Chains A and B, each alone.
Chain A
Amino acid sequence: MLKYLLEKEFKQIRRNSFLPRLIIVFPIVIMMVFPWVANLDVKDIKLSIVDNDHSTYSERLVNKIASSEYFYLTNASNTYSEAIESIELSESDIILEIAHSFENSLIKEGYARVMISANSVNGTKGGLGSSYLARIVNDFADEIRSELIPPNNTFPVIDINSQYRYNAYLDYKTFMIPALMTVLLAIISGFLPALNIVGEKEKGTIEQINVTPISKFTFILAKLIPYWTIGFVVLTICFGLATLIYGLSPVGNLGIIYLFAMLFVLTFSGFGLVISNHSSTMRQAMFVMFFFTIIIILMSGIFTPVNSMPQWAQAITIFNPLKYFIQVMRAVYLKGSNIWALSTQLMALLSFAVFFILWAMLSYRKKA
């Protein structure tokens, strides 16, 4: 029986005017455009400098900052209020103000102050930008110190050496690409099933199926398997593009990703079918799916760390399948984690898959 239903589903997908195109084009667009868009790299910060001192030291500091990779000087304002104006016009992100007595007090009193004002409407940029700037200022102070003070006059120093693993160039795209694949899978394997059964309801064809002795199990299975296949196609396209365009291939085993993807797609398609079963119009299914998808994506840790969320929010994410799948993707892609390292995620996704498939079967009503 299943064979005939599957034949039907695949034929319908093939004949649909945009589904096959969507399955091919959507991943390509997402993989080509999104890594550039979903970019929280904090580079090229626009800096406005108000140098009230115009001394040798203040100019050395300005040059040091200008030569760093993070900042470029947009303008040198004469007054602080001019600089503020440039922030208001979005011409600069951060202001560095050097006081009139900068060099004097540095030499005479041994310390000086600079003022950093950051536009923090965008928190990440404001925060990271000002801490980069503070670091450069500190480095500059070290430099001056070693010039002015003879080396034999030592005092204890803790030398900090920092090392960034798994993403040595600190490339935001490397971080986002594996996660974008999961979102793509979630959208395709969630929305299509969500619109499917309710679509048959609106057309009336579901009646003709309901009056046959077909079992719920077979029916739901026939709906799941096509999306499962589509998921594999989409994921494979993504892998290819990630390697081709970004030279990014998984450090770990590709088989592990496919295994988890299989469970994840089943989970999400099951979820989509549940919504479809409970909806009476496509519009309704669409909006309900949209609602949950947004929450699921926001709470998945895709662009903000789950650990930074408050306790209650972290508790909610326990029930977020996307969170686990993103963890798996990033771990396998970047760190090369093996299956033992991911046992929690495996158990979680396995339970979600079973749960949603069962729910999809139970919520499919052949009888009113």
Chain B
Amino acid sequence: MKQFLSFVRKEFKHIFRDKRTMLILLGMPIVQIILFGFAITTEVQNVRVAIVDPSKDISTQHIIDKINASKYFEVKRVINATNQIEKVFRHGEVDLAIVFEERFNENLNHTGKARIRLIADATDPNTAITEVNYATSIVAAVQQEMIGTNAVPIQIIPEVKMLYNPQMESAYSFVPGVMGLILMLICAMMTSISIVREKETGTMEVLLVSPMKPIYIILSKAMPYFVLSCVNLINILLLSVFVLGVPIAGSLVWLVVVSFMFIMVCLSLGLLISTIAKTQVAAMLMSGMVLMMPALLLSGMIYPVENMPAILEWISNIVPARWFISSVRKLMIQGLDVSYVLKEIAILTGMAIFLIVVSLKKFKVRLQ
């Protein structure tokens, strides 16, 4: 035991000596949380608008004022002819062009019908749809106002309620993802690279001929990353609660249990990679390609799994991060009871046991 502790101490020293890497490992979750929480937003704002208004009458002016007053739009250009729209789009100066027809007000009052064309730069389709929706509802409100509220017969008013995330904060969907990514990075990537590094420099041999059992060597290697992961986990939770204001709606205990499960999976994945990879670069690429990429893309962190073609959706089943993120979402954001995440917990536990057994076996085989 004493021997084991001194090994653990040695590992800690090793890691703390590399200040830059430490700084990055501890700083990365903080920076990501801040970026996701405050900078990256899926909400569409500050849409740059170009106006083509050949009528220049009170009605068009009124609509333009309403558009400009909304927090979503900002009138950037007023252009004279529709043939210039192409140019401003190509220069990337505006996102949406609002084109009024000639004699807008006159048509509205005499024929009862006036036309507006909304031309969106649909390079980004979702943003374009949202822009058009916003603009449409502003125009509809103006129309409503012109007629007087109760004058329109037959209306169906949809009342929209956003469940779990009423302010539509992007952070809500990203926090679980950041947790998954960071834990994966520290546990799997760091562990595998560190063990392979010892293999490369030959110090692993020295450790293996020592009287310590291999299992303790592995434990002593994994211990610092386990501790680091816990520190980061606490940091992320504190930041999301106190800085982002994302509450922990469900059971904290179960959240911690699920996280531990996931940490175990990641640590054993790291160990497994270290038994396969011969060089540090190989270990980095393997953990990058086999672990990080799928964790980023197939886990539902950013991109919903159900949007993917069946084969990718199927593959995503073997990505541990998918189950972790899903359970964190349910426990932390939706505040569901643990009975809703039994499936996730079972899968993660299964994966952890399987991976630990396989990687220990492989590690032993390598010794002989």
Binding site for B on A (CB under 8 A): 18, 22, 33-34, 36-44, 46, 84, 87-90, 106, 110-128, 130-131, 133-135, 137-138, 140-141, 144-145, 148-149, 154-168, 170-172, 174-175, 195, 199, 279, 281-284, 286-288, 290-291, 294-295, 298-299, 303-305, 307-310, 312-313, 316, 327, 330-331, 334-338, 341
Contact = CB atoms under 8 A, between A and B. Distances in A.
10 contacts: A116-B158, A121-B333, A124-B42, A160-B136, A161-B117, A164-B122, A165-B121, A284-B21, A298-B32, A341-B87
Interface in B134-181: 135-136, 139-140, 142-143, 146-147, 151-166, 168-170, 172-173
A137 B158 contact: yes
Contact of B39 (A112, A115, A137, A313): A313
B197 to A, nearest CB: 7
A172 B298 contact: no
A337 B32 contact: no
B158 A164 contact: no
Contact of B307 (A40, A89, A171, A312): A40
Interface of B: 18, 20-21, 24-25, 27-28, 31-32, 35-36, 38-48, 87, 89-92, 95, 108-109, 112-130, 132-133, 135-136, 139-140, 142-143, 146-147, 151-166, 168-170, 172-173, 185, 193-194, 197, 280-282, 284-285, 297-298, 302-304, 306-309, 312, 326, 329-330, 333-334, 336, 340
Top-8 shortest CB links A-B? A164-B122, A313-B39, A170-B125, A145-B154, A120-B162, A111-B155, A120-B165, A167-B122
B289 to A, nearest CB: 8
Contact of A89 (B35, B122, B340): B340
Contact of A118 (B161, B169, B197): B161
A295 B117 contact: no
Contacts, number: 315
Nearest to B306: A44
B140 to A, nearest CB: 8
A326 B340 CA distance: 41
A287 B197 CA distance: 15
Given A121-B165, A131-B133, 20 more contacts: A37-B308, A39-B303, A114-B158, A120-B163, A120-B168, A123-B42, A126-B165, A126-B168, A127-B168, A138-B156, A157-B112, A160-B136, A163-B117, A174-B125, A294-B32, A298-B32, A305-B127, A327-B92, A330-B123, A331-B92
B224 to A, nearest CB: 14
A123 B43 contact: yes
A167 B125 contact: yes
Contacts of A111: 154-157
B304 A122 contact: yes
Contacts of A126: 162-163, 165, 168
